C-alpha cells in the first residue's frame, strides 16, 4: 500500500477508525491497557511488523548473549521497513523492557514509524528525548533478556489480547490503539475521512445551537443541509 494511504490514516482518530471497523462487524481490534509513552507524541500509523517475546527459559535465553545480532529483536530493529510499525507481544509481561533509548534512536533514524507493545519500554526519558513514538503498558529498568526468550518475528501475534498479523495496519493515538485488517485499510481511510468531515460540520451546527435529534445520526433533512454546505465549500 502507498505511503500516502498511511499518512491519511494517521490523520484520522482511533475513535473514527473504531467506528468504521464496527460497521464491518469488527469489535476485537482495540488493544487496551497501553498508552503513549509521551503525551506529546504524534499519532502512529503504518503496516505492522511483528515480534514475539516468549517467557524466559534458561536454555533458550543466555544473558551472556545480550545484543546477539541473530536475535529476532536485533533483526527487527535493523530490518523493519521504513514506515512500518513494530508491534511486540509480551503477553502483558512488564518485568523487562522490549527496547531502550539507543534502539529507539536507531529505529527513528531508519524511518520506522513507531513501536507498540503490551509490555514495557526502558530508558523512558531517553526514548522520549529520541522522538521515536512508543505506545506501551509501562516503563521499567531491566533489559529484555532478563525476562524473555526469542519468540520469532513476522508471525501472527497476540498483543494485548488482539490478534495482529504482519501487514495489518495499526493506528495509535491518545485514545488508544486499533488494528485494521490489511484488506480493509483503504475503505476504512476513505470512509473515515468522510465521517470526520461530516462530524466537523455537525460540531459547528451543535456549537451554533442545533439539537442532536435528527442531526447525529442525520435524518434526510440533515443530510440535505450537509450536502448543500459541502457543495458550497468546493
Are 145 and 43 in the same domain?
yes
For residues 82 and 114, state if they share a domain. yes
The number of distinct structural domains making up the chain is 2
Domain hosting residue 225, numbered range: 187-233
- Residue closest to 129 by CA, chosen among 105, 110, 109, 106: 105
Q: Compute the distance between CA of residue 215 and CA of residue 234 in angstroms, rounded to an integer.
A: 22
Cell of 221: 433533512
Neighbouring CB atoms inside 10 A of 68's CB total 15
Q: Are residues 139 and 195 in the same domain?
A: no
Closest residue by Cα to residue 33 from 157, 150, 151, 158: 158
Report which secondary-structure segment, H or E, holds 176: strand 176-180
- 234 residues of the chain, pLDDT tens digit each: 588 999 999 999 999 999 999 999 999 999 999 999 999 999 999 999 999 999 998 887 766 666 677 889 999 999 999 999 999 999 999 999 999 999 999 999 999 999 999 999 999 999 999 999 999 999 999 999 889 999 999 999 999 999 999 999 999 999 999 999 999 999 999 999 999 999 999 999 999 999 999 999 999 999 999 999 999 987
Q: Give the number of other CB atoms < 10 A from CB of residue 13.
A: 19
pTM, full prediction: 0.94
What is the C-alpha separation between 108 and 38, in angstroms, rounded? 15
Do residue 95 and residue 202 come from a single domain? no
Residue 105, domain CATH = 3.50.30.40
Amino acid at each position: 500500500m502507498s505511503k500516502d494511504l498511511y499518512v491519511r490514516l494517521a490523520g484520522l482518530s482511533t475513535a473514527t477508525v473504531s467506528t468504521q471497523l464496527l460497521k464491518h462487524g469488527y469489535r476485537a481490534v482495540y488493544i487496551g491497557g497501553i498508552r503513549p509513552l509521551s503525551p506529546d507524541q504524534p499519532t502512529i500509523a503504518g503496516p505492522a511488523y511483528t515480534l514475539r517475546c516468549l517467557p524466559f527459559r534458561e536454555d533458550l535465553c543466555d544473558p551472556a548473549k545480550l545484543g546477539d545480532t541473530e536475535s529476532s529483536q536485533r533483526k527487527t530493529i535493523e530490518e523493519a521497513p521504513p514506515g512500518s510499525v513494530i508491534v511486540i507481544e509480551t503477553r502483558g509481561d512488564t518485568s523487562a523492557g522490549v527496547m531502550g533509548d539507543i534502539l529507539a534512536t536507531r529505529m527513528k533514524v531508519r524511518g520506522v514509524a513507531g513501536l507498540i507493545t503490551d509490555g514495557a519500554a526502558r530508558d523512558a526519558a531517553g526514548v522520549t528525548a529520541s522522538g521515536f513514538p512508543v505506545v506501551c503498558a509501562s516503563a521499567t529498568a531491566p533489559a529484555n533478556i532478563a525476562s524473555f526468550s526469542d519468540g520469532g518475528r513476522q508471525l501472527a501475534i497476540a498483543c494485548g489480547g488482539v490478534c495482529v498479523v504482519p501487514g495489518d495496519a495499526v493506528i495509535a493515538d491518545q485514545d488508544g490503539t486499533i488494528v485494521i485488517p490489511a484488506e480493509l485499510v483503504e475503505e476504512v481511510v476513505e470512509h473515515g475521512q468522510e465521517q470526520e468531515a461530516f462530524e466537523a460540520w455537525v460540531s459547528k451546527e451543535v456549537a451554533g445551537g442545533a439539537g442532536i435529534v435528527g442531526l447525529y445520526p442525520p435524518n434526510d433533512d440533515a443530510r440535505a443541509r450537509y450536502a448543500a454546505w459541502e457543495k458550497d465549500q468546493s
